[in-house]
Amino acid sequence: MLTQEENELLTRTGPGTPMGELFRRFWLPAALSEELTPDGPPLRLTILHEDLVAFRDSDGRVGIIDGYCPHRRARLYFGRNEESGLRCIYHGWKFDVLGNCLDTPSEPPEFDLRDKVRMKAYPAREWGDVVWVYMGPRDKMPELPQFEWCRVPASHRTVARWVQECNYFQAMEGEMDPTHGPMLHQWFDGSASRLNGLRPGLSQFNGAGRPSYGFAPRITIKEAAHGLVSGSYVPNAGGEGYRWRLNRWLAPIYSLIAAAAYPVGGRCWVPIDDEHLTAFQYLWNPDRPLTEEERRRLQPNGVEEKEYSPALDRCVYWLPNGYALDTWRDRRNRENDYLQDRELQRTKNFSGVPAQRTQDACVVERQGEGPIADRSREYLGSSDKTIIAMRRKLLQMVWELQDGVEPANACHPEHYVVRALEVVSPHTDLDKVMEEHATDLMVPV
């Protein structure tokens, strides 16, 4: 468990907080490129407690600027995106993607303020069909992270995002927990992940329409330049040896999750504020384009969405401070108990929540009394090795930054050129498995 002070340090990400300052050393995913069109509607964003607006100008350039006009603080989301700038509808002041003031029509010519007014604008880049933002000191701005999913052709990947109603860290812990899948995501017909249909589950099923409680994986953690390798294995149900899953946590907020075959993928968790996050999911095949069937199955809630409940729909999500986000939000949420179906739970699915992403949200959005888990009250076991190591690593990074040591991953974008892997091996030693598959674990350069 953590102390309450350590928990506060991990979970608070606002301006001036130690964790917020750490995150501001990294490029962060902000939106999908497809959400912005030249001279099209702006997009409301909140990242690390800051209300922002993103827009694409007439020349196709993307800007991420303060969400409020510096004149009288009107919301720029309602502005007109026209002629290479975003114009406030209150008094017509206009700004470009760099925050430069282009026009102040409400001011007499002799009081022209264009050269005196500049609004907050953050560097924005497009990489891997995602708009990235850098919110830290300009003299510390690194190169973009060299993820494989960003480097493959657009036809080889699919990227999605959604809002989740909890602190970023408990969602990320759930992602990197190697033992929850065979339980939480279990279908009694024999597939732990019926949603993607791409790889068998690791649970042992009794075939009688009832849940099965199979092998608990053995877990080994290895520190790496990018963060952590979480290796877990169970006896290979198909014969001799052991089935290993080598997942990766890439500090501070990224995952790569092992699969037996392509497409593979992972997620990242970008804090909106301390009680909300935007999750980005990326999946790709480095060898060939994704098929239409794969793209359909790889949507965040998979093909089961239409079978069991209404399809996801674009909506406006209002934060407690009254600022709205334009995003995808699951119709299943904590207000309606995630539309849990008790008959489905009794006969077909361990959780009674049919969609895999919603199953994860169901258990992490309220771990205890509120949206931020109190880790001082936990009782951890040997299966929580990955979680414990993540917490220690992230706390270490925060403490080092406070001592003037910049985070290594931000300074070395090549640290992200790695892969996760699922393999069968005769070994029960993680180092031997990684040595045996060293070539498979690295992205060809």
Q: What is the pLDDT of residues 137-178, one digit of tens each?
A: 999 999 999 999 999 999 999 999 988 889 999 999 988 888
Q: Which CATH architecture has domain 148-315+327-436?
A: Alpha-Beta Complex (3.90)
- Separation in Å, CA 53 to CA 137, 143, 320: 20, 23, 18
- pLDDT: is 409 or 189 the higher one? 409
CATH superfamily of 27-140: Rieske [2Fe-2S] iron-sulphur domain (2.102.10.10)
| Confidence tier at 381 by pLDDT (50, 70, 90) | confident
Q: In this structure, what DSSP letter does residue 190 have?
A: S
Distance of CA 386 to the CA centre of its chain: 18
- For the chain, the maximum distance between any two Cα atoms, rounded to a whole number of angstroms, is 84
User: Quick one: tokens of 249?
Assistant: 């946590």
Computed over every residue of the chain, the mean pLDDT equals: 87
- Kindly state the DSSP code that residue 303 receives in the 8-state scheme: T
Domain with CATH 2.102.10.10 in the chain: 27-140
pLDDT at 17 over 90: yes
Give me the DSSP letters along 32-61.
EGGG--BT---EEEEETTEEEEEEE-TTS-
- Rounded CA-CA distance 411/146 in Å is 12
Contact in structure between 234 and 245 (CB atoms under 8 Å): no
Residues of the chain above pLDDT 70, percent: 91
Residue 391 has pLDDT above 70, yes or no: yes
State the average pLDDT over residues 362-384. 80
Which range in 264-273, 351-360, 364-373 is most confidently predicted, on average pLDDT? 264-273
Say how far apart CA 11 and CA 170 lie, in whole Å. 9
Residue 384 confidence (pLDDT) above 90: no
115 Cβ contact partners less than 8 Å away, ≥ 6 residues apart: 101
364 CB-contact burial (10 Å; exposed 0-12 / middle 13-18 / buried 19+): buried
HSE, CB side, 13 Å, CA atoms: give it for residue 328.
19
* Residue with the two structure tokens 């003037």: 404
Higher pLDDT, 235 or 23: 23
* pLDDT value for 415: 96
Most confident of 97-106, 326-335, 339-348: 97-106
Does the pLDDT of residue 210 top 60, yes or no? no
Q: Using H for helix, E for strand and C for coil, what is the string for 390-429?
A: HHHHHHHHHHHHHCCCCCHHHHCHHHHCECCEEEEECCCC
Q: Give 366's DSSP letter.
A: T
DSSP letter for 427, please: -
Q: What is the pLDDT of residues 41-74, one digit of tens each?
A: 999 999 999 999 999 999 999 999 999 999 999 9
Task: Please name which of 215, 275, 231, 277 lies closest in space to residue 252, comparing C-alpha atoms.
Answer: 277
C-beta of residue 106 within 8 angstroms of C-beta of residue 93: yes
- By CB atoms closer than 10 A (0-12, 13-18, 19+), residue 125 is middle
Question: Going along 217-375, which residue ranges are E strands?
Answer: 218-224, 227-235, 242-250, 254-256, 264-273, 276-284, 313-318, 324-329
Task: Specify the pLDDT at position 214.
Answer: 58
How many Cβ atoms are within 10 Å of 246's Cβ, its own excluded? 26
Place of tokens 């999500």: 317
> What is the spatial distance between Cα 407 and Cα 399, in angstroms, rounded to a whole number?
10
